[in-house]
C-alpha cells in the first residue's frame, strides 16, 4: 500500500464520519421521536404485570385447571351489577384485612378483578405484600371479561 492510498482511505473515513455527525445533528428531532415512540411501544412489556395483567382467556384457564380464586375488588353495588361467575367480593379498602380470611391457601392462584383493571392492579400490590405470590390482575377488568363474551352473574 502506498502513502497515497493510505491518505485516500483516511480521507474517506473522515468524510464518512462527518456525514454521520451531520445527519445526526440535522435530524436529532426525528431520531428523538423514533426513540420515544419505540419506548412507548415497549413500556407495557417492560412494566410487566402492572400494566399487562392477565388476559381473560388465561384467567379462564387458571380457574378451570388450577382452581384459581377470583376476588372482585369493586364496591358492593358494582359487584351486584355483574361479576365473574364464582367471584368473591372484597372491596379494595377492605382487602388487606379480609383477604387472609377469605383465601387461606396462599399457594392457589388468585385473580383480582375490578371494572377496568386499575383497582385490581392496586389490589395486586396488596396481595403480593400479604404473600400471595400467584396473584394476578385481570387486564381490562370486567370490561375485558364482557368483551370476551365470558359468563357474568348478578347478585
pLDDT at 7 over 70: no
Provide CATH 3.40.250.10 ranges for the chain: 52-153
Task: Return mean pLDDT, the chain.
Answer: 88
Distances (CA, A) of 138 to 11, 23, 52, 118, 143: 60, 46, 9, 10, 10
| Biggest alpha carbon–alpha carbon distance for the chain | 90
- 79-124 per-position pLDDT tens digit: 999 999 999 999 999 999 999 999 999 999 999 999 999 999 999 9
What does DSSP assign to residue 68?
P
User: What is the rounded distance in angstroms from the CA atom of residue 84 to the CA atom of residue 65?
Assistant: 16
Domain 52-153, second-level architecture? 3-Layer(aba) Sandwich (3.40)
- 131-148 per-position pLDDT tens digit: 999 999 999 999 999 999
Q: Give the pairing type, strands 88-89 and 69-72.
A: parallel
Amino acid at each position: 500500500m502506498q502513502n497515497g492510498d493510505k491518505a485516500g482511505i483516511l480521507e474517506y473515513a473522515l468524510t464518512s464520519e462527518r456525514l454521520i455527525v451531520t445527519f445526526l445533528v440535522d435530524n436529532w428531532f426525528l431520531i428523538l421521536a423514533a426513540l420515544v415512540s419505540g419506548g412507548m411501544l415497549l413500556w407495557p412489556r417492560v412494566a410487566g404485570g402492572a400494566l399487562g395483567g392477565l388476559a381473560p382467556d388465561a384467567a379462564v384457564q387458571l380457574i378451570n385447571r388450577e382452581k384459581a380464586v377470583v376476588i372482585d375488588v369493586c364496591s358492593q353495588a358494582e359487584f351486584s351489577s355483574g361479576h365473574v361467575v364464582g367471584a368473591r367480593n372484597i372491596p379494595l379498602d377492605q382487602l388487606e384485612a379480609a383477604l387472609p380470611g377469605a383465601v387461606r391457601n396462599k399457594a392457589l392462584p388468585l385473580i383480582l378483578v375490578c371494572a377496568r383493571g386499575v383497582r385490581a392492579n392496586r389490589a395486586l400490590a396488596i396481595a403480593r405484600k400479604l404473600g400471595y405470590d400467584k396473584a394476578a390482575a385481570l387486564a381490562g377488568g370486567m370490561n375485558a371479561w364482557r368483551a370476551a363474551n365470558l359468563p357474568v352473574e348478578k347478585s
